[in-house]
Chain A
């Protein structure tokens, strides 16, 4: 049986080769970070729902949505997660979303004045 198995390593090899290009690597890593965050939010909401023993239909009722829209959200079937729906689901599950600054953020920062304005606007 082993002899008949196909070599499926091309994807890994291609990725490794392409990652040697700095701009490709940067784009890949940025995309991976963004995907991980979105996936973590949705998967955590679904885990909370399961923890509470709440069906998708019940959760949908609590946020005044069709059961199918919530089902599609949790199974990645035709979804573009919308923030208002995510927030509503979190609230219905007794949770909330937060933005947390990464401890080691290596991205370039905006100028001091601009950052100061933002802080002032937020306080």
Chain B
């Protein structure tokens, strides 16, 4: 029996030590086919889009509950409990946020959602000037998108 505290041998950075596959990254689509997260990313400065993508890749490679994403991937709390956000600062200190849900569960549960493995579901994003806040209504819109997304079996995602 392994001794308590024995370090599990890890592979190259970005590999899950348990040997699990990295997670997928998927984008929620609305009934009319629009993809809020991609519309948001496409509207961001190129460098911000690149940083969001790099963070998504890092988290997908070393998924929760491990630390990854360089501290820019955070679990949200309160009314947004169960959500994760990526927080970036752009030119002029403009604030960019990408809102995500985790798709994890048993293989049967994932299969019902149309997923082969766990995934980060990117729902939407928002931006705001420095030292301003999003309104409750803004967050409600995010939650509404997420609630609608989670009602779909299989999930409605951009392909």
Chain A: residues with CB nearer than 8 A to chain B?
A: 1, 4-11, 14-15, 18, 21, 23-25, 27-28, 31-32, 34-40, 42-43, 46-48, 50-54, 73-81
Contact = CB atoms under 8 A, between A and B. Distances in A.
A39 B7 contact: no
A54 B74 CA distance: 25
A54 B70 CA distance: 24
B54 A53 contact: no
B27 A27 contact: no
A26 B68 CA distance: 21
A68 to B, nearest CB: 12
B126 interface: no
Nearest to B159: A7
Q: Secondary structure at chain B's binding surface: helix, strand, loop or mixed?
A: loop
Nearest to A82: B71
Interface stretch (B92-100, B131-139, B141-149, B150-158): B150-158
Given A28-B53, A51-B5, A75-B66, 11 more contacts: A1-B111, A6-B114, A6-B115, A7-B159, A23-B47, A31-B55, A39-B70, A43-B62, A47-B10, A50-B8, A75-B64
A28 B50 contact: yes
Contact of B71 (A5, A14, A18, A79): A79
Contacts, number: 141
Contact of B68 (A23, A39, A78): A39
Q: Secondary structure at chain A's binding surface: helix, strand, loop or mixed?
A: helix
Contacts of A5: 111, 114-116
Contacts of A42: 67
B74 A78 contact: yes
Most interface-central of B55, B71, B77 (chain A CB within 10 A): B71
Contacts of B64: 75-76
A42 B7 CA distance: 15
Nearest to B59: A76
Given A18-B53, A36-B58, A76-B64, A8 B26 contact: yes
